[in-house]
Amino acid sequence: MLLQLAAERIAPHLPEAGVEIAEWLEYPPKPEMGDVSLPCFVLAKRLKRSPQSIAAETADKLNEADGGIRAEAAGGYLNLRFEPSVWSARLLRRIADDKFGQPDWGKGRTVVIDMSSPNIAKPFGVGHLRSTVIGNALGNLYRAAGYRVIRVNHLGDWGTQFGKLIAAYKRWGNDEALAAEPIRESLRLYVKFHDESERSPKLADEGREWFRRLEAGDDEARRLWDTFVRASMKEFDRVYERLGIRFDHVLGESFYNDKIGAVVERLAEQSLLEESDGAQVVRLAEEGLPPCLILKSDGATIYPARDLATAIYRKETMGADMLLYVVGAEQTLHFKQVFAVLARMGCTWSEACRHVPFGLMRMNGKKMSTRRGQVVFLEEVLDEAVARAERMIADKNPELPNRKEVAEVIGVGAVVFGDLKHRRMLEIDFNLDEAISFDGETGPYLQYTFARASSLLRKGRDDVPDRADNIDGVHLSSPEAWMCVKMLCGYEEALAEALRDDEPSVMARYLLDLAKAFNRFYHAERIVADSRSERRAKLTLVSLAARKLQSGMALLGLRTPERM
């Protein structure tokens, strides 16, 4: 917002800059240098003048005009300083407008987000957690910017592993265990299947035979498969519920079974299919990629073919203008191949497909591995986080009435934010002690800051003007108050940058900076002051900071208790 304002103020005094001025303006690295600065170098070249003289001349004109802005030339830069007593009140009024932070950049455009997508009968892994949390935040960010968002959970519910699972179940299955702890029981069956088939190769044939029956629509195979799907879904839904996540569609890979044939036909018609060792592939040498496998030698379809059918469905039936895939970086090649095949098929919209990858996350040093049954169950991590949050509350605020509820919100928020605050491609070593602390760069720190602001607002309830009307900016001219106002002005810019890079961490970092600025203001000043005019001004700032903290945290999927 400040860049925009600065551009409007400078333009009349520097018409030579034209509209480009908005692109040149920047926030100086240190607050001592001012609020906004204009590097005059590009313009200097164009006008064949020195940047120093352009900066100095424009500074003089701005200072003469006196619009509550002080200008200064320094080393080819034009630095602007907004006069807080003039500007804080005006800016807060703009921030209080409902439209601020709800731009309509995406109006009329639909984004389909592939997110979470765990595999049936396997534990909900940390990778799926990341996909869920990042995908959900992106969904919220796009929606805040006016897009129509469709969240799709692309469940891994098909493949030869289901034949193995059924074979193992027929031999060693335990119905009680399957009902009580379906994923642990399925995992036990997988591990047993793998161990035993090393000794008895017949078992592998049994697995293949069951998968063949499943694909052929055999009653018993279908029924058992269905049991596994339902049982796993129940477990996954518990996690989604705790994270507060809803999908518009939960469509497993099996949903595309009857849609793959048409894709294979189309590929064949377009002469894109080639044989390779009995399998059917699309060669992508021109794109510098290895061939994309479409049909195995036994005619079975595989993962890439499913993704082709899926993308076409999302485009044609769901009306996607943008297709995002929030999936671990290890699948980068897969998505490159799928998008390249789509392009070969003449789907010009393949350019609107985007893989949004992320790096590995370790939980307290442990890596995920399902094969040997050594896994960290996500629910256990959440439970542990909640238990610690509860101990912290018992310590800090033993009187809190709804302690359990608040502990859940803090514990889950700590895990979610512990993920989102990192740029998504970084590998994360998730450390619960760190993530749950109230005074690090954490979710609980943000929540605590919001609760602090809420408590001030309870005290001064009668002194918060509705739309930041009639407040006197004189009371908001300390460096701390001004810094807090400036941070609030940056909300929409953070939203824009987060969307530009599909990077929720931009919003996470912004919220940490806002919370820090707010806390500095809180410690430096007496907010519930004696004079009414002063109380009104300061509480308005508190109220808007609370509002933006809350809406920003909601974008990331964090809840905000008013007391904790």
Residues within the interface to ligand ARG (CB under 6 A): 114, 117, 119, 154, 156, 307, 310, 325, 327
State the minimum distance, in angstroms, from the CB of residue 132 to ligand ARG: 11
Tally of CB atoms within 10 A around 352 = 18
Q: Which residue shows structure tokens 């052929």? A: 216
Instruction: Give CA separation, 68 vs 13, 306, 470, 526, in Å.
Output: 15, 61, 18, 26
Q: How far apart are CB 29 and ligand ARG at their closest, in Å?
A: 40
Least distance from C-beta 292 to ligand ARG, angstroms? 13
Q: Cβ 128 to ligand ARG, closest distance in Å? A: 6
Ramachandran class of 27: left when φ > 0, alpha when ψ lies in -120 to 50, beta otherwise:
beta
Nearest distance in Å: CB 138, ligand ARG: 14
Q: Closer to ligand ARG at the Cβ: 36 or 260?
A: 260
Judge contact between 363 and 329, C-beta under 8 A. Answer: no
Nearer to ligand ARG, 260 or 495 (CB): 260
Residue closer to ligand ARG (CB basis): 87 or 325:
325
Count the residues in the chain: 564
Nearer to ligand ARG among residue 154 and residue 475 (C-beta): 154
The nearest distance, CB 156 to ligand ARG, in angstroms, is 3
Nearest distance from residue 338's CB to ligand ARG, in Å? 8
What is the C-alpha separation between 344 and 249, in angstroms, rounded? 28
Residues 210, 149: contact at Cβ < 8 Å?
A: no
In the bound state with ligand ARG, the residue whose beta carbon lies nearer, of 218 and 321, is 321
Other beta carbons within 10 Å of 18 = 11
**Least distance CB 409 / ligand ARG (angstroms):** 28
**What's the token pair of residue 370?**
């399902």
Residue 380: is it exposed, middle or buried by C-beta count within 10 angstroms (0-12/13-18/19+)?
A: exposed
CB of 223 to ligand ARG, least distance (A): 23
Give every CB contact of residue 111 below 8 A, 6+ residues apart in sequence. 139, 142, 147, 148, 149, 150, 320, 321, 322, 323, 324
CA–CA dist 302, 157 (Å, integer): 12
With a CB cutoff of 8 Å and minimum separation 6, the contacts of 356 are: 134, 135, 138, 324, 325, 326, 327, 424, 502
Give the Cα-Cα-Cα angle 6, 12, 13 (nearest 5 degrees): 90
Nearer to ligand ARG, 117 or 442 (CB): 117
- Cα separation values, 219 from 140, 210, 222, 223, 225, Å: 41, 11, 5, 6, 10
Closest CA to 17 of 43, 49, 54: 43
* Pick 296 or 452: Cβ nearer ligand ARG: 296
Residue whose CB is less far from ligand ARG, 37 or 310: 310
Cβ-closest position to ligand ARG = 156
From the CB of 154, what's the least distance to ligand ARG, in Å? 4
Q: Are strands 249-250 and 148-153 parallel, antiparallel or unpaired?
A: parallel
**Alpha carbon distance, N-terminus to C-terminus of the chain:** 33
Identity of the residue, 326 or 435, whose beta carbon is nearer to ligand ARG in the bound complex: 326
Instruction: Quote the tokens at residue 46.
Output: 């164009």
Task: Please say which residue, 334 or 403, places its beta carbon nearer to ligand ARG.
Answer: 334
